[in-house]
Copies of this chain bind each other. A is one copy, B any other.
Amino acid sequence: MRLLFLGDVVGRPGREAVTGHLPGLRDRWALDCVIINGENAAGGFGITEAICEDLFAAGVDAITLGNHAFDQREALVFIEREHRLVRPATFPSGTPGRGATMVETARGARVLVVNAMGRIFMDAMDCPFTRVEEALADCPLGYGADAVIVDFHAEATSEKQAMGHFCDGRASLVVGTHTHVPTADYRVLPGGTAYISDLGMCGDYDSVLGMGKDEPLRRFLQKTPGSRLEAAQGEGALAGLAVETDDATGLATRCAALRLGPHLPPALPDFWD
Contacts and interface: CB of A to CB of B under 8 A. Distances in A.
A108 interface: no
Nearest to A239: B184
A259 interface: yes
Interface string A91-106: 1101110000000000
A259 to B, nearest CB: 6
A183 B182 contact: yes
B187 A157 contact: no
A235 B103 CA distance: 39
**Which interface residue of A71, A73, A156, A225 has the most chain B CB atoms within 10 A?**
A225
Contacts of A190: 206
A272 B265 CA distance: 18
A48 interface: no
Interface residues of A, number: 62
A139 interface: no
Given A95-B222, A221-B92, A267-B184, A158 B121 contact: no
Q: Is the interface of A mostly helix, strand, loop or mixed?
A: loop
B222 A92 contact: yes
A159 interface: yes
A217 B185 contact: no
A176 B125 CA distance: 21
A261 B217 CA distance: 36
A208 interface: yes
Contacts of A76: 224
Given A124-B119, A124-B124, A127-B126, A217 B166 contact: yes
A70 interface: yes
Interface of A: 70-71, 73, 76, 91-92, 94-96, 119-121, 123-127, 129-130, 155-159, 161-162, 165-166, 179-187, 190, 197-198, 200, 205-209, 213, 216-217, 220-225, 256-257, 259, 263-265, 267
Given A119-B124, A181-B197, 5 more contacts: A155-B155, A182-B185, A184-B200, A184-B257, A184-B259
Of all A-B residue pairs in the complex, the 6 with the closest CB atoms, nearest first, are: A124-B124, A119-B124, A184-B184, A121-B121, A182-B184, A157-B179
28 contacts: A70-B225, A91-B223, A92-B127, A92-B130, A94-B222, A95-B223, A120-B124, A121-B121, A121-B155, A125-B223, A129-B220, A158-B209, A159-B220, A161-B181, A161-B207, A162-B220, A165-B208, A165-B213, A165-B217, A166-B217, A166-B221, A184-B184, A184-B259, A185-B200, A186-B265, A187-B205, A187-B263, A256-B265
